[in-house]
Structure 1
C-alpha cells in the first residue's frame, strides 16, 4: 500500500508544477536581464522597472545584471553570444543599437542580425539645459550667442559618440551655427560644469536633467511637450522639426529565439507598462506607455540605424 501511494504521488508531482512552467514559457529558471550601463542612470532605472513587470507577468524571477562599458557594447555583446532560450535578455537602446553602430567601426555584433528584438520599454526625449540663473532664457538667445563667434558656445554631453553628442551636432547643422561639443563621462559631471559656468549648456535625457531646479530647459526633442515639463517647448515648435529624436530603450534577446517565447515576453511587458501606476512613473521620465509588438520594435531599430549613420557621417562624429 505504501509503495502504491508513493508511486501515485510521484506521478502526480509533474502535474502540480506544470502551471508554473506553462506560465513562464517552459522554464522556472530565472531570466537574466543585462543592463549594459552602470546602476543609477536612465537605462538602469528602465531595466529594473521592466524586470519588475516581467516577474509579475511571467511568474518567473528576473535578475538584473549590470554589465557596463564601451557605450553599452560589452553587455549587449554578452547577450548576443548567449543561448537563445529566453533566459538571457538585454536592455537594447539607442546607444548600443543605434548611434553606437554608426560611430564604432569595430562593433562585435550586428544590432539587427545578432538579436531578437522583443519590445519597447520607453522612448525618452533629450533636452537642452542651461543654468537657470545664467544669461540664456530661450533657445533663440542661445543660438544667437553661437552666431557671434564660432565655437564660443560650449555644450556638454555624456561623451563622444553619444546621443547627446549627435543631437548637439544636429542642432548645430540645422541652426547654421558652430556649437563646441564638450564630452564628459556621464550627464552628472556635464551638469556640474554648466552650473559652474565652464560650459553654456548640456544636451542629455530629460530624465537625467529635468528635475534639477538649478537648470532651465530650453527645448525638448519629443514630438509633443512632456507631461511633467509642459512649459518647455519642443525643438519642432521652435522651427527644428528634424530634431524629433528620442532615446529609445527596449528588450532584446539573442538571435534565434522562439517567436512564441518572444511574444510571451512582449505581452507581459506591454501589459505591465500600461497600468495606471506605470503610466504615472513613465510620465516622470517624460514619456508615455506604448503597445509595440516585437515586429514594431524590430522595425524601429531597423529604421534608426540608417538615420543615425547619415547624421554621424554628415557631422563627422568620431569616438576618438
Structure 2
C-alpha cells in the first residue's frame, strides 16, 4: 500500500509546474457587467441584450450592475480597479471613455491604459427631441426659438456625456445659446420632457425613437436611418459637424489574461451575428459593429483624441 501511495504521488509531483502555469477556467463564477448609468437607458438595454446571450453560451450568469455617477466615470473607475480576472466587466461607452477624459480635469483612470478593451457592441445616433405638444416642429424652429430667447433648456443624461458635447457642437454650428441641463441618466430627463418640465433633450435614437410623447427634430447619423425615413439628419440641414454616433462596447480591467479577452471577444462577435440580437438592435436604430480586441482598443484611443478637440473648442469643463 505504501508503494502504491508513492506511485500515485509521483505523477502529481511531475505535473505541478505546468499546472501552476495554467490559467484557471473562465468563467468560474457569475460575471458582473457594470453599467455606469442608471437602469432603463441605452447602456442598460445593450448590456442586458448581450449579457443574456453570453450567459447561455458560457454557462454562467452575466449580472448587470448599475453604478451611476459623474457621467459614467464612477462605474468605470470601479472596474478599472477590480481584479483583472474577467469576472468584472464594464460597458465602455462614448461618455466615460471618449468624452469624459477631456471634460473631467482629474479623471481617476486612463480610458486606454487602465482597461483591456474587448469588443465594440453597437453604435447609435442621437436625436434632438421636444415634447410632442411643443410648438417647435423642426430644427429651424428650434434654432429660431433659441435665438429669440437665449438660454432655451436642453437636457442631457449627465455632465460630460456625448449629449452634453453634441449640445455644445449645435450651439457653435447654429450660433445659438442654450442652457445645458444635466440629469443622472436619461430616464429622469425623458420623463421631464414628456411631462413638459423640460423643453428639449439630446438623447439616443434607441430611447426616444419609438416614444409617441416626443417629436424628433434631427438625427446625428451620416444618412437617414432606415426605420425613420422622415427624420432629417443634422448634416442635410446644414450642420455637418453633428455627425456622431453614441457607441457602446465591453471592456475589462487592464491585465486581464489575453486568452480570456480573446474568448470573450469571440463570443461577443458570435452574439452580434445572431439574427435575434441583430434584429433587436436594428429595430431601435442601432448598428451592430464587429471588431477584434486590438481594433476596439485603437478605436477607443482615436475617440479620446477626437473628443478632446471638440471639448477644447467648445470650452466644456466639469468640476
Instruction: Report the equivalent of 1:54.
Output: 54
Instruction: Report the equivalent of 1:157.
Output: 156
Instruction: Report the equivalent of 1:245.
Output: 244
Aligned positions of 1:266-277 closer than 5 A: 266-277=265-276
Contact residue 71 and residue 159 of structure 2 kept, 8 A: no
Task: State the 1:26 CA deviation.
Answer: 4.4
Aligned positions of 1:90-109 closer than 5 A: 90-109=90-109
Instruction: Report the equivalent of 1:205.
Output: 204
Contact residue 25 and residue 261 of structure 1 kept, 8 A: no
Pick closer, same or farther for the CA change 1:27–1:162 going to 2, 3 Å. Answer: closer
Contact residue 163 and residue 203 of structure 2 kept, 8 A: yes
Judge which range, 56-65 or 189-198, deviates more.
189-198
Give the root-mean-square deviation of aligned CA atoms. 2.5
TM, length-normalised to structure 1 = 0.85
Task: State the 1:195 CA deviation.
Answer: 4.4
Contact residue 226 and residue 287 of structure 1 kept, 8 A: no
Judge which range, 167-176 or 239-248, deviates more.
239-248
Task: State the 1:28 CA deviation.
Answer: 3.1
Task: State the 1:112 CA deviation.
Answer: 0.4
Instruction: Report the equivalent of 1:235.
Output: 234
Instruction: Report the equivalent of 1:15.
Output: none
What do residues 257-313 of structure 1 show as CA deviations (whole Å, max 9, x unaligned)? 222321211110111111111111102331122211112211221111122222222
Instruction: Report the equivalent of 2:116.
Output: 116
What do residues 53-72 of structure 1 show as CA deviations (whole Å, max 9, x unaligned)? 22233333323222222222
Aligned positions of 1:1-320 closer than 5 A: 26-151=26-151, 153-320=152-319
Alpha-carbon separation, structure 1, partners of 2:123 and 2:250: 12
Task: State the 1:148 CA deviation.
Answer: 3.4
TM, length-normalised to structure 2 = 0.86
Alpha-carbon separation, structure 1, partners of 2:54 and 2:305: 31
Unaligned runs of 5+ in 1: 5-10, 12-21
- 1:232 alignment partner, SS class: coil
Contact residue 57 and residue 272 of structure 1 kept, 8 A: no
Alpha-carbon separation, structure 1, partners of 2:184 and 2:66: 17
Unaligned runs of 5+ in 2: 5-10, 12-21
Contact residue 116 and residue 254 of structure 1 kept, 8 A: yes
Judge which range, 246-255 or 27-36, deviates more.
27-36
- 2:91 alignment partner, SS class: strand
What do residues 14-68 of structure 1 show as CA deviations (whole Å, max 9, x unaligned)? xxxxxxxx9x964433322222222222111111112112223333332322222
- 1:241 alignment partner, SS class: coil
Contact residue 266 and residue 294 of structure 1 kept, 8 A: yes
The total of aligned residue pairs comes to 301
- 1:156 alignment partner, SS class: strand
